[in-house]
Amino acid sequence: MENSIPIHHPLEPLSPDEISVVVKAIRDYSNTKWRFISVALKEPSKQEFKSHREIDLTKREALVVLFDNAKNQCYEAIVAIGARLVTSWKHIADVQPTMSSDEQIECEQAVLADPNFIEALKRHGVKDPSLVMVDIWSAGYYGEKEEASLRLARPLCFARANATDNGYAHPIEGLRPVVDLNTMKVIRIEDYGVTPLPETPGNYTPEYVKDFRRDIKPIEITQPEGPSFEVNGHEVSWQKWNLVVGFNAREGLTLHNISYQDKGEKRSILYRASLSEMVVPYGDPTDTQKRKNAFDSGEYGMGACANSLELGCDCVGYIKYFDAYITDSKGEIVKIKNAICMHEEDYGVLWKHTDRRIGIPEVRRSRRLVISSFSTVENYEYGFFWYLYQDGNIQLELKLTGILSLGAVREKINPKYGSLVAPQLYAPNHQHFFNVRLDFDIDGTSNSVYQVDIEPEPVGGDNAFENAFYAKSTLLENELQARSNLNLETSRFWKIVNHHKTNHVGQPVGYKFMGGDNCIPFASKNSYWRRRAGFVDHHVWITPFDENEKYGAGDFPNQSKGGDGLSQWTQADRNIKDTDIVFWYTMGHTHLPRPEDYPVMPTAYIGFLLKPVGFFDENPANDVPPSTKKETTNHSTGSCCA
């Protein structure tokens, strides 16, 4: 098979030619009018990939999720791409797959064409339906048996003042249509009473913001000799690092087969790193707001919502872009140009020391490789930024921005469950939870995890000065024991090690996991959304590797009743000692909105850090060369480049 975009590596995403072959194979196999929910690479088994034998790229496979609206049924298929044949076909009973971008458009059209909705708009003071925005919003599950067998959406509605106005500034409070996505009909309109539309504009585009700052001077980032990375297809080499950049409609950006070149040896660290799931629960019990909780990955598709990134705006410097290819629900190829951005950036001082007796400072500049993507899920934006550092660190930083999901109030008082951000306009309290799946491979697949807590030494004896403390390491041997949370009082972290390989001081090689800002859920464990999002019950979960366990809330969280994913798998209490393990981390951000978060929210940041601990025999960045000293260009003086 000829590929206009050649495949270089077995873990690369599907090319557009491969997607076309897959779609045709499905249509040849079945003439049903399918919605193509996702078409993605079915990755080769880890055992096959790590067998060190050449994988035949003509034998790549695709995993396809399909939906039949007429029968309200979901199917999964596997297609052998080279053979152009469907090799597996499975009906997945009683589930609702991810909503497609086409359904979002069709849902809005269906709502705006409904005569009962038009009448409801008039009651709410909206005279021009053409200015109404209808955001699809997942329906969730709340125990309504009569609706459990339907594919539903429960949109939120807003009214623009004109065609380019920020409609989110004018929520139609109290009005929520319920749409059957199979028939694209409004089956019910929930009307909780009229609240006047907030009138204060909340615009942010250059058309409306006329008085821009005039004192910002340009910052130019140049690399006249080009970047330090090399790219072959989707395989990247940079500063002793090697990895494969992946992408799919559900997870978005993924990283694969991450290794570090150390003393002539290519040493593995992570086999796969990805967003497993996320959920945004709202803490407002009022009628319009109480059902708001979005599983943005499993219900919408983080990759399907990915942006085309722009030079000078999303990314600055010498940029390598990766395009992404997915399908719409009709099976047509959708190209997301510049879906992934990769570049280097300066990161301050890497290390420094001045020997006062010699009087010569030694300082090294740090740089990092940035691999990023951004997704827009209706009103919100999420940035996913992976950083690789010269000292062996790996970091994920999530960037939260966009527009708040807003509501209207009658009085100019702060509502109990949110905050006023403008007259008559409020933002409900809410949280964002992300679950990340880290398939570790520390010098091989036989890994173990220690939970490390810092403990003070009891007073007396050897601790007469009452100053001693030490690290207490607990080997985690099974899944239930491994369920745990961050603990500030003990500076808790986790150490992933390989007992079968030691460093030059006899310690098992390893990496430590260090969580950043985090929170716990405030909803009851019995709330409907928490039953579906069991991954939020703990910050850390550890499971033995299973290629079928990829998503923390299960494969199909859309309208699920819950109990799937991590909370179910770990009940088996499987062994996680000296085996192929997967480390799952849940991080959360509690957002009590401020007026400063409106009309567009300044970016909030959360993430984690992976740091080598005994993986190397010494500082791996000791060989970074000194930077060239520059002449100062201001009134300060100095003798070194720090």
Q: What are phi and psi of 534, to 5 degrees?
A: -60, -20
Indicate if 333 and 389 belong to the same structural domain: yes
Indicate if 418 and 481 belong to the same structural domain: yes
Structural domain includes residue 406? yes
Give residue 26's domain range.
16-92
Sign of CA dihedral 220, 224, 227, 233: positive
pLDDT at 551 over 50: yes
Token reading at 382: 């999420």
Structural domain includes residue 200? no
Which string of DSSP letters, residue by residue, matches 58-96? GG-EEEEEEEETTTTEEEEEEEETTTTEEEEEEEETT--
Structural domain includes residue 38? yes
Contact 253, 234 (CB under 8 A): no
Indicate if 153 and 291 belong to the same structural domain: no
Q: What is the mean pLDDT of residues 421-435?
A: 97
Structural domain includes residue 628? no
pLDDT at 4 over 80: no
Contact 256, 271 (CB under 8 A): yes
Using CA atoms, how far residue 606 sits from 17, 123, 383, in Å, is 37, 42, 11
- Residue where a domain stops, chosen among 167, 191, 215: 191
- Residue where a domain stops, chosen among 66, 92, 118: 92
The model's confidence at residue 1, banded by pLDDT at 50, 70 and 90, is very low
For residue 637, the model assigns a pLDDT of 39
For the CA atoms of 292, 595, 587, 42, the dihedral, rounded to the nearest 10 degrees, stands at: 60
For residue 2, the model assigns a pLDDT of 42
Provide the 10 A C-beta neighbour count for residue 619. Answer: 14
Tell me: the pLDDT tens digits for 256-268? 999 999 999 999 9
Token reading at 363: 């300082």
Q: Which amino acid is at 520?
A: I
Indicate if 79 and 105 belong to the same structural domain: no
Mean pLDDT of the residues in the chain: 95
Structural domain includes residue 329? yes
CA distance 433 to 296: 10
Structural domain includes residue 456? yes
The model's confidence at residue 500, banded by pLDDT at 50, 70 and 90, is very high
Please state whether beta strands 152-153 and 175-180 pair in parallel, antiparallel, or not at all (unpaired): antiparallel
Q: Which residue, 62, 52, 59, 77, is CA-closest to 13?
A: 62
Indicate if 53 and 155 belong to the same structural domain: no
Using CA atoms, how far residue 369 sits from 231, 392, 444, 623, in Å, is 13, 12, 24, 17
Token reading at 587: 């991080």
Element (H, E) at 514: strand 508-515
What pairs with residue 370 in β-bridges? 343, 387
Structural domain includes residue 445? yes
Q: Is 187 left (phi over 0), alpha (psi -120 to 50) or beta?
A: alpha
Indicate if 72 and 112 belong to the same structural domain: no
Residue indicated by tokens 């007992």: 499
pLDDT at 205 over 50: yes
Indicate if 309 and 456 belong to the same structural domain: yes
Contact 271, 257 (CB under 8 A): yes
For residue 635, the model assigns a pLDDT of 45
Contact 313, 606 (CB under 8 A): no
- If you compute the radius of gyration of the chain from its CA atoms, what whole number of angstroms results? 26
Using CA atoms, how far residue 413 sits from 408, 421, 423, in Å, is 11, 11, 9
Which string of DSSP letters, residue by residue, matches 151-202? -EE--EEEE-SSTTS-GGGSB-TTEEEEEETTTTEEEEEEE----PPP-S--
What pairs with residue 275 in β-bridges? 436
- Percent of all residues in the chain with a pLDDT value above 70, rounded to a whole number: 97
Q: What is the mean pLDDT of residues 117-135?
A: 97
Burial of 144 (0-12, 13-18, 19+ CB in 10 A): exposed
The model's confidence at residue 144, banded by pLDDT at 50, 70 and 90, is confident
Tally of domains within the chain? 3
Indicate if 267 and 306 belong to the same structural domain: yes
Provide the 10 A C-beta neighbour count for residue 129. Answer: 16
Sheet holding 425-428, edge to edge: 407-408, 425-428, 418-422
Pick from 220-229, 242-251, 306-315 the range whose average pLDDT is largest: 242-251
Indicate if 163 and 297 belong to the same structural domain: no
Residues designated catalytic: 296, 380
For the CA atoms of 367, 373, 379, 380, the dihedral, rounded to the nearest 10 degrees, stands at: -50
For the CA atoms of 614, 347, 383, 398, the dihedral, rounded to the nearest 10 degrees, stands at: 40
CATH value at residue 368: 2.70.98.20
Token reading at 162: 């004109």
Please state whether beta strands 540-544 and 581-591 pair in parallel, antiparallel, or not at all (unpaired): antiparallel
- Residue where a domain stops, chosen among 35, 60, 92: 92
For residue 633, the model assigns a pLDDT of 58
Tell me: the pLDDT tens digits for 306-355? 999 988 888 888 999 999 999 999 999 999 999 999 999 999 999 999 99
Which string of DSSP letters, residue by residue, matches 432-484? EEEEEEEEE-TTSS-BEEEEEEEEEPPSBTTBTTS--EEEEEEEE-BHHHH-B
pLDDT at 640 over 70: no
Contact 358, 378 (CB under 8 A): no
Indicate if 348 and 489 belong to the same structural domain: yes
Q: Which residue, 67, 75, 282, is CA-closest to 181?
A: 67
CA distance 238 to 231: 9
For residue 634, the model assigns a pLDDT of 55
Q: What is the mean pLDDT of residues 291-305?
A: 97
Indicate if 106 and 88 belong to the same structural domain: no
Contact 247, 303 (CB under 8 A): yes
For residue 511, the model assigns a pLDDT of 98
Structural domain includes residue 367? yes
Indicate if 172 and 250 belong to the same structural domain: no
The model's confidence at residue 639, banded by pLDDT at 50, 70 and 90, is very low
Provide the 10 A C-beta neighbour count for residue 36. Answer: 24
pLDDT at 141 over 80: yes
Q: Which residue, 509, 515, 517, is CA-closest to 540?
A: 515
CATH value at residue 180: 3.10.450.40
The model's confidence at residue 642, banded by pLDDT at 50, 70 and 90, is very low
Provide the 10 A C-beta neighbour count for residue 475. Answer: 15
For residue 631, the model assigns a pLDDT of 67
Q: Which residue, 181, 194, 246, 343, is CA-closest to 12?
A: 246
Element (H, E) at 117: helix 115-123
Q: What is the mean pLDDT of residues 119-124?
A: 97
Q: What is the mean pLDDT of residues 206-215?
A: 93
